Amino acid sequence: MNILVINGPNLNLLGEREPKIYGSETLDELMVWLENCSKSLEHKFKFYQSNHEGEIIDILHDERHWAQGILINAGAYAHYSYAIRDALVSISIPSVEVHLSDIDARENFRKKSVLKSVCIGSVQGKGKNSYLE
Ligand code: DQA
């Protein structure tokens, strides 16, 4: 399966950003780990990170003919970006929303995800295992 992995804003600072919440590994380490763990499944991955809402939408559009599945950690955009939600609906590729932390156990504003209902699944609170699952 061709899997498009999109990491949103501030995830480029993983490793130095709030390590008690997000862990001490960098985004690169985490994505290499994910690809290695999935080797036996013979998936092909493309990894992107962007701090910009429109750029995330452009990536979804540009990769829509390649991707057969999407893992998206939209960071804070997950809580309010109707534009990313519309993009996921527009390309209609099975997508799973991922969060490293348990967004239901944190501040109130994180409890709502506008992406959840347009994804086939949502995994949160399992650190890097959220991506693997
Ligand atoms: C996050 C949770 C979001 O609330 C936050 O804005 C992030 C990271 C996570 O992976 O736990 O940037 O998506």
Helix, coil or strand: residue 30: helix
CA trace torsion 51, 54, 59, 60 (10° rounding):
120
- % of residues, the chain, pLDDT over 90: 97
99 catalytic, yes or no?
yes
Q: How far is CA 36 from CA 31, 32, 39, in A?
A: 9, 6, 5
Cα–ligand 1 centroid distance for 36 (angstroms): 23
Answering whether pTM is above 0.85, one says yes
Q: Which of 129, 121, 79 minimizes the C-alpha distance to 100?
A: 129
Q: Are 32 and 58 in contact (CB under 8 A)?
A: no
- Give the tens place of pLDDT for each residue, 20-76: 999 999 999 999 999 999 988 899 999 999 999 999 999 999 999 999 999 999 999
Residue 133, pLDDT above cutoff 90 = yes
- pLDDT at 40 (0 to 100): 87
- pLDDT at 77 (0 to 100): 98
* Mean predicted confidence (pLDDT) in 108-116: 98
Ligand 1: residues with CB < 6 A are 10, 73, 75-76, 78, 99-101, 103, 110
